[in-house]
Chains A and B, each alone.
Chain A
Amino acid sequence: MKTIKILGSGCAKCKTLYQNTLEAVKQTGIEAEVIKIEDFQEMMKYNVLTTPVLMIDDKAVIKGRVADIAEIKTLLTH
């Protein structure tokens, strides 16, 4: 069971990354919990400077950009 966190304040890029992540999880069939973090105070605990951020098991793997479904799938399966 993986824990995936999307950090972003609700801008267009953050929403796209969230949607792509949900789709990637569905396609790979991995068991994962996807959490969206929109609160700045909460977000800053993870030492981010640019949003959106994709974290898999508390490790930031994508910073400040949108990743497409294929890229997230590779990140999930490796």
Chain B
Amino acid sequence: MKTFIFPFSALAVWILIYFNLQVSADFLVLSVLNLEPGTHLTESLRFFVFEVPKVLMLLVLIIFGVGIIRSYFSAEKTRKALEGKSTFAGNIMASLLGIVTPFCSCSAIPLFIGFIEAGVPLGVTFSFLIAAPMINEVAVILLFGLFGWKIALIYVSTGLFIAILAGWIIGKLRLEHFVADWVYKIKSEGSEEPEEQLSFDQRVRVGLDSVKEIVGKVWIYIVIGVGVGAAVHGFVPEKMMADLMGQNAWYSVPLSVLIGVPLYSNAAGIIPIVSVLIEKGVPMGTALAFMMSVIALSLPEMIILKKVLKLPLIFIFAGIVATGIMIVGFLFNWIM
């Protein structure tokens, strides 16, 4: 019973603090530190003192919520749901499940093999493997906190679009023969074990654990990201950067994807860079394309995938995803 009360009372405190952040930040900067409003230093400091706790609080709340939701899902259940699914409907389902199923990039290979072995179609498996890392809660919250809900929503929907479409195309191309031969020969001996049933108390614990783990890992990136954002806050965009990746240069989107693919970072690590790019006048579509390509495609990942996929399939996979990301970038620059 106690754990039922805890989340709700914590939520009340959260709301109280969250909606008084701007007032507290202003009080601290203007009254306690007695800085003059309007100067660059004051405005940067106000931005920093307000944004850091705001994003961190959002992170805690959402990761806790996502942690609880994820405790109802597992890779095993997702696999069962996708077994023998036809294309398209299967691609859509796999992409959506990719968002809610607990996933760590180091599990990508066992997941891939396990899905294929259970009869999940290749394209559907790819939809899952593209959506799972790309659309993660940290990326979405940070985009929401720094750039607003519209950008966050567009990121999620275009990410889904890429995962569905790329998986569907890979399915249509019939590339099964490019999967390493031994994958199809594997026969698991392990028996299916019944899922452990968690109580609500345990789910709350799972939520708290994931908050501890993720926030413990990414808080520093957020402080850096917002800090750099604050430092350049209000400065006129530098001309050089805007020229290189600027709106008018058609090649800015493919260029940013090209730079982004070999780089690898988790969603949190890339956000500081994206926030600088945008502050410096790089258009949103170009910045998003860069972010997506860093998160979704990476050289180390390709090298690991080499163990289960033959080279042509890796290139096709990278090519389709990169093209999808570029389309999103162009589309976005064109709309905004």
Please report A residues at the B interface, Cβ cutoff 8 Å: 8-9, 11-14, 40-41, 43-51, 60, 64
Contacts and interface: CB of A to CB of B under 8 A. Distances in A.
Contacts of A49: 75-76, 79, 107, 110-111, 114
12 contacts: A11-B106, A14-B106, A41-B186, A44-B110, A44-B186, A45-B188, A46-B189, A47-B189, A47-B192, A49-B79, A50-B74, A51-B104
B237 interface: no
A64 B190 contact: no
Contact of B107 (A41, A45, A51): A51
Contact of A47 (B105, B106, B188, B304): B188
Contacts of A45: 186, 188-190
B49 to A, nearest CB: 33
Contacts of B106: 8-9, 11-14, 51
Contacts, number: 67
B102 interface: yes
B334 interface: no
Interface of B: 74-76, 79, 102-107, 109-111, 113-114, 117, 182, 186, 188-193, 304, 307-308
Given A49-B79, A50-B102, A50-B104, A60 B110 contact: no
Contact of B193 (A9, A13, A60): A60
A57 to B, nearest CB: 13
Contacts of A8: 106
Nearest to A8: B106
Contacts of A51: 104, 106-107, 110
